[in-house]
Amino acid sequence: MKSLNYALLGDASIAPELGKKATQTDIATYDRKTGDSILTYAVATGYPEKLQPLVQMLALCDPVILNVSVLDRALGEQVVAAHLHGRSRGFLLQAPGVDPGRVAAVLKSTTLEGLRSLPGLRELREQVASLEQSAPGGETRVHVDQCFEVKGVGTVVLGVVARGTLRKHDDLHLYPRGTPVQVRSIQMHDDDVEMAPAGARVGLALKGTTAADVARGDQLAPEGTLQSAGELRLRFQPTPYYKSPIRAESQYHLQVGAQIHPVRAQPEGETLTAVSEHPYAYTPGDRALLLDLNSPGLRIAGGGTVL
């Protein structure tokens, strides 16, 4: 069964036309099963008031649908965020009256420049299941979106398999704390399954932890396959449209995966050192975004990869 997790950017009002609402927090999901594909569409409902839901959604989703009905600052910020997350697969819709030349100018030199343009919603529905599922190999790695307790089941985690293959009864660790847990059961689109490949959105019953000890951004992986630290060094590139210099005395937030914590940032040439009181789970090469949540303009100061 193929799984595609789309991040819906721009005008998200088409979400109910694409799937049935499944979950609702500051990120809402809509699901549809068609043929041999499970399609999930995520909407950052807490954005643009808060930046965190947008960048966390992009960490949990690939590919994207960009539905342009207006060209404004929020659209530009979404394009920058998707670009820094390396999102390049997906589809572009443009409402009547939107200048295609201006849209092309916004997307130029970003990873979204190659999105496939479609004339409308009908064509989008026909094409969304056509993309191949992203299937990174290696050790199992699951990014946590939500966690809660279910009577008669116990601790349930909703998340996305980012790498490898997840199997029922896998013994894993919950990072960054390193708590040992066991996967008691796996569901995909409310169906019990024995395994879930990379790219799948899953519901997991876990043994060994409680919902109070799990947060969005936590990760499940075999023991020793992820690192945990509160000080990270990044290969870093400032965002051209962020106008303020990065100052060591200012407070920023650093996103790695779906984890976001306050940090102090010290740029050093092409690298940046970020220090937080909260540890991050990571592997070298993970994408990271430096966020200035109080900026009156673009709130993304730059991005890079963890060294």
Stretch 214-236: mean pLDDT: 97
* pLDDT surpasses 80 at 272: yes
Q: 15 and 80 share a domain?
A: yes
pLDDT tens digit sequence for 289-304? 999 999 999 999 999 9
Give Cα separations from 28 to 12, 22, 43, 45 (angstroms): 11, 7, 5, 6
pLDDT tens digits along 95-143 = 999 999 999 999 999 999 999 999 999 999 999 999 998 778 889 999 9
Q: Provide the pLDDT for residue 133.
A: 85
Q: What is the mean pLDDT of the chain?
A: 96
Task: Residue 125: give its domain's CATH number.
Answer: 3.40.50.300
Q: Say what the pLDDT of residue 262 is.
A: 98
Assess contact for 221 and 166: CB atoms under 8 A. Answer: no
Regarding whether 105 and 60 lie in a shared domain, the answer is yes
User: In this structure, are 203 and 231 located in the same domain?
Assistant: no
Same domain, 111 and 156: no
pLDDT of residue 289: 98
Is residue 136 included in any domain, yes or no? no
Same domain, 152 and 101: no
Distance CA 42, CA 23 (A): 9
Q: What is the mean pLDDT of residues 32-47?
A: 94
Q: What range defines the domain where residue 246 resides?
A: 227-306
Split into its structural domains, the chain has a count of: 3
Q: Are strands 37-43 and 2-10 parallel, antiparallel or unpaired?
A: parallel
80 and 14: one domain?
A: yes
In a domain, 135, yes or no: no
Which one of 130, 149, 176 terminates a domain? 130
Please report, to the nearest 10 degrees, the dihedral formed by the alpha carbons of residues 161, 166, 171, 176 taken in order. -10
Nearest Cα neighbor of 181 from 197, 151, 198, 159 is 159
pLDDT tens per residue, range 239-255: 999 989 999 889 999 99
Are 80 and 115 within one domain?
yes
